[in-house]
Amino acid sequence: MSWLPRSRAQTLFLSPKDVLRSREQALWALTLIESDQTTTIIDTLRAALDRPEPTIQRQAIATLGRFGIGATGAVPKLIPFLKSFDPHLRYQAVKTLGAIGEGSTPAIGAIETLIEDPSEMVRAAAVVTYGRVVRTKKRLSPLLERALLDQSSQVRYAAAQAMGRTASEDPSSVPPLVRALQDTESQVRRSAAIAIGQIGPTAADAVPALAHALWDERMEVRISSAEALGKIGPLAKSAIPDLIDALNNDFAGMGIPAHEAIKKIDPASDRGIAPR
């Protein structure tokens, strides 16, 4: 479709006589046109949001996401879709707002509402988007804390990631992340360990839980926990015996991560220790 001229793509999309498939193809074609026509393309996609067909609306919303921050001007037209009765439209709108990033700040109130949406896919996308749009690192959102207890592992996983991005300077984010280290899903446990590492020395209270997680059944959780201890630094000194045990036992790939963590926590303890 990259050969399709801009005028032809716009005509296919805007003409009420064209079949739905032609309009879908035109939307994709618009994203393949050279960047110097970006403004015209985005304007055309914004016009697509007024079409009555949900399929066209979803495709237009998704395509706007391809332009990232460049589609900021479309944010006011995307916000109403966050309240759509169609969960697929809500999902695609909140996902595209996440792709736009900081330009979606005017939509943050509506995004927060979707963190408790009835649809699992919408909740997960809303949490991801929240983490991309909110730039403060000083306040833990109660919505994220509740999302960390969501019945969906995808939502819990996204919540832990978002907490690492948006609340890394708030000590109150540590206890819920410590609880998440015991989640039944390994991806949530790993995400929690990474988030604790992003908090750094402020997360010193998490050291015992991270030391315990060095023996998690999943390698990715063990490695992320060792890395988190290293980022906490000297305040994680009580975990050095566990790190040495993990290193000496060469517990499924823990040699190098444990060694690196020990060097960051206490360089003196690293003398004579080498990863296997």
pLDDT band at 90 (very low <50, low <70, confident <90, very high): very high
75 vs 26 pLDDT, higher one: 75
Name the token pair of 136: 């403060």
pLDDT band at 3 (very low <50, low <70, confident <90, very high): very low
Calculate the alpha carbon distances from 234 to 93, 193, 229, 238 in Å.
Answer: 44, 17, 9, 9
Which is nearest to 95 in space by CA: 121, 74, 76?
121
pLDDT band at 166 (very low <50, low <70, confident <90, very high): confident
Q: Which of 65-74, 132-141, 207-216 has the highest mean pLDDT?
A: 207-216
Residue located via tokens 């592992």 = 153
Mean pLDDT of 252-270: 84
Domains of the chain: residue spans and CATH: 1-132 (1.25.10.10), 218-276 (no CATH)
pLDDT over 60 at 205, yes or no: yes
Average per-residue pLDDT for the chain: 86
Report the Cα–Cα distance between both ends of the chain, in Å, rounded: 53
Q: Could you give the CA distance from residue 204 to residue 33 in angstroms, rounded to a whole number?
A: 51
Q: What angle do CA 158, 180, 264 make, to 5 degrees?
A: 95
The sign of the torsion formed by the CA atoms of 163, 169, 175, 179 equals positive
pLDDT over 70 at 272, yes or no: no
Question: What letter does residue 2 receive in the DSSP assignment?
Answer: T
- pLDDT at residue number 146: 93
pLDDT band at 4 (very low <50, low <70, confident <90, very high): very low
Predicted TM-score (pTM) of this structure: 0.81
Q: Give 155's contacts (C-beta < 8 A, 6+ positions apart).
A: 120, 123, 124, 127, 147
- SS3 assignment for 128-193: HHHHHHCCCCCCCCHHHHHHCCCCCHHHHHHHHHHHHHHCCCCHHHHHHHHHHCCCCCHHHHHHHH
pLDDT band at 19 (very low <50, low <70, confident <90, very high): very low
Least confident segment among 116-120, 140-144, 170-174, 251-255: 251-255
